[in-house]
Amino acid sequence: MSEVFGQVNRRRSCSSYRNGDCCFFMQENCADCGAKMRYCTTNYFEKRQDHFACANYRSNTGSCSAHFIRVAVLEDLVWMHMKAIILYVTQYEKHFRAVMEHKLLLSSEEKICASVKRLEQAQRRMGELDRLFIRIYEDNVAGRINDGRFSMISRSYETEQEQLKVEIQTLQQDIEVQERQIENLEQFIQRVHKYNDLDDLTPYALRELVKRVYIETPDKSSGKWRQNIRIFYDLVGFIPLNELMKEETA
C-alpha cells in the first residue's frame, strides 16, 4: 500500500458518537494537506452515510480533495483484518512469533545502533563542554578574557548542556523501549488469545489490539472504488499478514 491519506485513532468508546454506533475517533491531521480529519454526521444522514472527511474539503472550494471513508466501511475493513490476525495467531502461533521476532529484532537493532551512536556522541560532547568551561574559567581568572566574554561563553555552554541532557534522557528511554520489543510481542499474543471467540468488533477489543488505522487514498483506476487501510497494532506495529499467509500455504 502506497501513500497514507490520514489516520483514525481510537480515543473514546462507541458512545461518543450518534446512537453509540462508531468505535473510532479521528487523529488530528490529514496526511495530504495537514488539516484535521473530522467525523461527519447529521440527523439527515442515514447511519450508513456517517463518515470521516478531511476538514480542508468544502465542496471543491477547500485546499484538499473530497477524501472520505464511510464509518461502516472502515469498521468492516478493520474487523476483517483483526479477525484474520486473531485466527492466524490462534492457529499458527509458533510461526507468527518467529516471523514477528525476526521483524522486530531487525527493526530494533537498526534503531538501537543509531540511538547508541548518537548517545555516545552526546555524552562525549557533554564531557567536552565541562572541560571547555574549566578552561574559560581559568582564562577569566588569569585575565585572558574579560568578565563579559566569560559570561557570554559560559551561558552558551550551559544552554547546550541543558539541551544535551534532554536528548540523552530521550535516547536512553528510546533504547530501553526498543530492547523490550520481544516482551511486547508476548504481551500482544496474550491479548489476541483473549479474543479467540470474538464475534464482532468492539471498542474494548479495538483499544487493546489496535493503536492506529491509516486510511489510503481510494483507488478508482479499475472503474471500481477500492479503499485500502493499514493497521498499526499496539505493541508490535504493522503485521505482514499477506506474507504470513503466503508462507503458511506455500
Query: Tens digit of pLDDT for each residue in 126-135?
Result: 999 999 999 9
Query: Tens digit of pLDDT for each residue in 210-232?
Result: 988 877 777 777 777 777 788 88
Q: What percent of the chain has pLDDT over 70?
A: 75
> Among 63-72, 89-98, 137-146, where is mean pLDDT lowest?
63-72
Question: How much is the average pLDDT of 13-30?
Answer: 46
Three-state SS string across the chain, please? Answer: CCCEEEEEECCCCHHHCHHHCCCCEEEEEECCCCCCEEEECCCCCCHHHCEEEECCCCCCCCCCCCCEEEHHHHHHHHHHHHHHHHHHHHHCHHHHHHHHHHHHHHHHHHHHHHHHHHHHHHHHHHHHHHHHHHHHHHHHHCCCCCHHHHHHHHHHHHHHHHHHHHHHHHHHHHHHHHHCHHHHHHHHHHHHHCCCCCCCCCHHHHHHHEEEEEEECCECCCCCCECCEEEEECCCEECCHHHHHHHHHC
Query: Tens digit of pLDDT for each residue in 140-150?
Result: 999 999 999 99
